[in-house]
């Protein structure tokens, strides 16, 4: 495949004049740029140790695995105490605080910050740290808004403010996700600013991308610097088009030069979707397998997954943000179609090779993904050392004018276009070498037995507390007919039929048939769920598409399929069947609605809505409310899809709607 060249303004071509970054390396006598963050930190520390200056006593809050602590320690700040709630992270801090280790002489404290009351003799000049960010994160925004300070984690900044008032340091550095600015339509951000100002601090803030400061990773975060006295400007980027001299960004491949190779590397990615990684061009993710990207055999619906799902790193660019939490398919994955090792992830986060992270693989990834990249932290710490603490450095510092706009968002849009072109070229290749998934002309018949469990496991084998279902498939290019009945009863008449068709305007209906008929021989709730499971199983088998959600599309967009449910003869059954009939048609689905609104749509009494919603969950429908997703307002309910979607792996399966009064 032809390699694309990036525009000049993106590859950071620059003149022969020395860049600011090169000036820093020269001053620190660093000649080899490989593993430069480690050498940078050590060289700064060694130079400062030779100077005659008073230690800057610093308190670290929400220390995690120690990313900011590494940075500020390297820049001459004396980290006297590190406060962290999670014992598994404190073990890392303890390991690296003993004599001869990176954070030697620091004191980790495992305690909830709400219970942390420093002794009266503790005096500090500076405080660093950022509270947990999940309540302001992209995951929160995706789930219908950002919970922000409505979430207990979103109020931890108040404990930060309490300690500022108690200890009265000269200043502080606070880090968080930039979603904090838009949380609750800006109300939370205003409350946070007011709280810091009321504690006696003038605040300065910017959203920065770590890649602009020598980190081989794009990671946008909000930084707040608060000062009792004086003024502050954020430092210019050391790398990228916005940097003095335009030093090139550090690529993922360059960051991994001479990395430790002793850790065993797991070949490939296992599981249902692991094989898909091989065809994804470096820099792209699951969206490569979508209709919108032009894939000949779409597997996923547009924006139905998080951006790190099956994300493969591009060796010629910094990687996307490393996440602390994720599933089996959460990237970044190596361009070699495998998981990155812990040693490699540390390099991509600029955590020193010699810094020991304690715990199993997942615990290590949590600490890496939650930390501030030390190289970004070092530049910020040096700016504070220079402009606030008046320590003369051996190289000049360059500061951003207050109104100077950085260009990383614009460059991100440019990069999106470049990767779209890469996907297009790869898809042209696949179209020339298609993998046929089409049903041949004529009918395909099959009879199978499946078992449906209470946790919505769909299995070929009998499990405890499972219901036996007989399934009959008759598939042709006019219609897929899927028939279900319980046990061994052979009924001639269908009790209900669900017609599934592409919505008007959906020209890319991936099934090589006009419609799908789901037929039940008994009026049995288990059969309703089983028919959708059987349809999903065949959808995956024939098309490779991940699940019914991908066929229909992510619920925040217009659905690509519609369902029509009809009953044979006069229905003499519970009203729940009428609600199912409405839901299949999309009535009351994909919108946040109150009980009275749902009652009006379904023609039932509002007082019974909660009971019916519980019944829908028992059938396999995902039903959300404030109790399951705090971003949803009290009194509102959300049924994302017109069909049951719960599986044994569903997060929602482990949540409850609470009770009618919650």
DSSP string spanning 490-504? --SS-SEEEEEEEPT
Pairing of strands 592-594, 515-520: unpaired
- Dihedral pair phi/psi, residue 61, rounded to 5°: -115, 150
- Distances in whole angstroms, Cα of residue 80 to Cα of each of 71, 88, 109, 263: 14, 20, 10, 33
Q: What is the CATH number of domain 574-662?
A: 1.10.10.10
Mean pLDDT in the chain? 89
- State in Å, rounded, how far the first CA of the chain is from the last one: 57
Number of H helices, E strands in the chain: 18, 18
| DSSP output for 53-97 | ---EEEEEES-TTSHHHHHHHHTTEEEEEEEES-HHHHHHHHHTT
Q: What angle do CA 567, 572, 575 make, to 5 degrees?
A: 85
Mean pLDDT, to the nearest integer, of 149-177?
Answer: 85
Secondary structure (3-state) at 564: strand
The answer to whether 96 and 126 are in contact (CB under 8 A) is: no
Question: In the predicted model, is pLDDT for residue 567 greater than 70?
Answer: yes
Q: Report domain extents, the chain.
A: 21-258+360-404, 274-340+416-432, 437-572, 574-662
| DSSP output for 299-324 | -B-TT-S-TTBT-B--TTSPBPPPPS
Structure tokens at 393: 């450095």
Instruction: Quote the pTM value.
Output: 0.80
pLDDT score at 5? 35
pLDDT score at 164? 97
Question: In the predicted model, is pLDDT for residue 558 greater than 80?
Answer: yes
Structure tokens at 608: 């019974």
Q: What angle do CA 280, 282, 286 make, to 5 degrees?
A: 40
- Distances in whole angstroms, Cα of residue 565 to Cα of each of 234, 452, 589, 642: 61, 21, 15, 11
**Distance, CA of 43 to CA of 28 (rounded, Å):** 6
Per DSSP, what are the bridge partners of residue 79?
Answer: 58
Nearest to 130, CA basis, from 74, 71, 75, 186: 71
Structural element, H or E, at residue 486: strand 479-486
Q: Is 479 annotated as catalytic?
A: no
Structural element, H or E, at residue 592: strand 592-594
Q: Which residue has the higher pLDDT, 168 or 429?
A: 168
For residue 18, name the pLDDT band (cuts at 50, 70, 90): confident
Lowest mean pLDDT among 17-31, 80-94, 158-172: 17-31
Q: How far is residue 399 CA from its own chain's centroid?
A: 32
Catalytic-role residue among 110, 133, 364, 503: 133
Structure tokens at 137: 């994160």
pLDDT score at 510? 81
* pLDDT tens, residue by residue, 65-91: 999 999 999 999 999 999 999 999 999
Q: Which residue has the higher pLDDT, 186 or 59?
A: 59
Pairing of strands 338-339, 444-453: unpaired
Q: How far is residue 50 CA from its own chain's centroid?
A: 43
Pairing of strands 479-486, 515-520: parallel
- Distances in whole angstroms, Cα of residue 284 to Cα of each of 217, 266, 318, 426: 15, 21, 13, 11
* pLDDT tens, residue by residue, 105-127: 999 999 999 999 999 999 999 99
Nearest to 159, CA basis, from 183, 186, 184, 129: 129
| Alpha helices by DSSP H, 199-318 | 252-255
- Distances in whole angstroms, Cα of residue 149 to Cα of each of 158, 199, 200, 334, 635: 10, 19, 22, 37, 19
- Dihedral pair phi/psi, residue 59, rounded to 5°: -105, 130
The answer to whether 210 and 218 are in contact (CB under 8 A) is: yes
Structure tokens at 131: 């509270």
- How many other C-beta atoms lie within 10 A of the C-beta of residue 188? 24
Mean pLDDT, to the nearest integer, of 4-8?
Answer: 34
Pairing of strands 333-334, 220-227: unpaired
**Distance, CA of 144 to CA of 317 (rounded, Å):** 32
Residue entry with tokens 């006295």: 229
Mean pLDDT, to the nearest integer, of 316-334?
Answer: 94
Please tell me the number of Cα atoms within 13 Å of 416 on its side-chain side. Answer: 9
pLDDT score at 141? 42
pLDDT score at 441? 45
Q: What angle do CA 288, 291, 293 make, to 5 degrees?
A: 45
Pairing of strands 333-334, 56-61: unpaired
The answer to whether 90 and 22 are in contact (CB under 8 A) is: no
The answer to whether 180 and 135 are in contact (CB under 8 A) is: no
Structural element, H or E, at residue 474: strand 466-475
Per DSSP, what are the bridge partners of residue 564?
Answer: 499
Question: In the predicted model, is pLDDT for residue 55 greater than 60?
Answer: yes
Question: In the predicted model, is pLDDT for residue 144 greater than 90?
Answer: no
**Distance, CA of 659 to CA of 662 (rounded, Å):** 6
- Distances in whole angstroms, Cα of residue 639 to Cα of each of 141, 273, 632: 17, 26, 12
**CATH topology for the 21-258+360-404 domain:** Rossmann fold (3.40.50)
- How many other C-beta atoms lie within 10 A of the C-beta of residue 173? 23
Mean pLDDT, to the nearest integer, of 655-661?
Answer: 86
């Amino acid at each position: 495949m032809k390699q694309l060249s990036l525009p000049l303004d993106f590859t950071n071509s620059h003149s022969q004049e020395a860049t600011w970054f090169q000036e820093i390396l020269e001053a620190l006598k660093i000649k080899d740029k490989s593993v430069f963050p480690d050498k940078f930190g050590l060289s700064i520390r060694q130079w400062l140790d030779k100077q005659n200056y008073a230690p800057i006593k610093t308190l670290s809050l929400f220390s995690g695995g120690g990313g900011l602590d590494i940075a500020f320690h390297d820049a001459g700040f004396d980290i006297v105490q590190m406060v962290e709630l999670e014992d598994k992270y404190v073990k890392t801090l303890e390991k690296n605080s003993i004599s001869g280790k990176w954070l030697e002489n620091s004191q980790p404290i495992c305690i909830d910050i709400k219970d942390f009351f420093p002794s009266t003799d503790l005096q500090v000049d500076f405080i660093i740290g950022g509270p947990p960010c999940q309540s302001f994160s992209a995951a929160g925004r995706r789930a219908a808004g950002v919970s922000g300070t409505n979430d207990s984690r979103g109020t931890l900044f108040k404990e930060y403010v309490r300690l500022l008032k108690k200890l009265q340091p000269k200043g502080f550095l606070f880090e968080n996700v930039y979603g904090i600015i838009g949380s609750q339509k800006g109300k939370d951000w205003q409350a946070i600013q007011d709280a810091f100002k009321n504690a006696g601090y003038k605040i300065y803030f910017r959203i920065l991308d770590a890649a602009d400061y020598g980190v081989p990773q794009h990671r946008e975060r909000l930084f707040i610097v608060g000062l009792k006295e004086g003024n502050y400007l954020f430092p210019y980027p050391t790398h990228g088009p916005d940097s003095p001299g335009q030093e090139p960004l550090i690529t993922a491949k360059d960051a991994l030069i001479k990395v430790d190779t002793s850790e065993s590397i797991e070949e490939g990615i296992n599981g249902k979707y692991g094989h898909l990684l091989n065809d994804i061009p470096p820099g792209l993710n699951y969206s490569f397998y979508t209709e919108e990207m032009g894939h000949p055999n779409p597997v996923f619906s547009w924006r139905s997954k998080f951006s790190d799902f099956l994300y493969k790193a591009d060796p010629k660019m910094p990687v996307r943000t490393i996440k602390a939490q994720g599933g089996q398919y959460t990237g970044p994955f190596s361009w070699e179609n495998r998981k990155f090792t812990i040693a490699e992830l540390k390099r991509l986060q600029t955590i020193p090779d010699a810094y020991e992270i304690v715990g199993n693989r997942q615990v290590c990834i949590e600490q890496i993904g939650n930390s501030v990249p030390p190289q970004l932290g070092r530049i910020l710490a040096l700016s504070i050392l220079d402009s606030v603490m008046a320590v003369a450095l051996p190289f000049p510092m360059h500061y951003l004018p207050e109104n100077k706009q950085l260009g990383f968002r614009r460059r991100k849009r440019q990069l999106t276009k470049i990767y779209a072109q890469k996907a297009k070229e790869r898809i042209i290749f696949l179209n020339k070498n298609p993998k046929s998934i089409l049903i041949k002309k004529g009918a395909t018949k099959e009879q199978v037995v499946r078992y449906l469990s209470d946790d919505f496991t769909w299995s070929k084998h009998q499990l405890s507390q499972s219901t036996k279902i007989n399934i009959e498939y008759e598939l042709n290019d006019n219609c897929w007919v899927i028939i279900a009945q319980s046990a061994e009863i052979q009924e001639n008449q269908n009790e209900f039929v669900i017609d599934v068709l592409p919505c008007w305007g959906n020209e890319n209906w991936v099934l090589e048939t006009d419609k799908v008929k789901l037929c039940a021989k008994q009026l049995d709730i288990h059969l309703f769920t089983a028919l959708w499971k059987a349809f999903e199983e065949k959808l995956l088998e024939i098309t490779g598409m991940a699940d019914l959600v991908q066929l229909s599309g992510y619920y925040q967009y217009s659905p690509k399929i519609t369902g029509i449910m009809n009953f044979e003869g006069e229905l003499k059954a519970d009203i729940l069947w009428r609600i199912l009939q409405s839901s299949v048609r999309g009535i009351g689905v994909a919108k946040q609605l109150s009980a009275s609104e749902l009652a009006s749509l379904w023609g039932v009494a509002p007082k019974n809505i909660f009971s019916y919603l519980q019944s829908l969950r028992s059938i396999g429908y995902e039903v959300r409310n404030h109790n399951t997703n705090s971003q949803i307002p009290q009194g509102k309910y959300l049924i994302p899809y017109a069909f049951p979607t719960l599986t044994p792996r569903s997060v929602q399966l482990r949540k409850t709607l609470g009770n009618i009064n919650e």
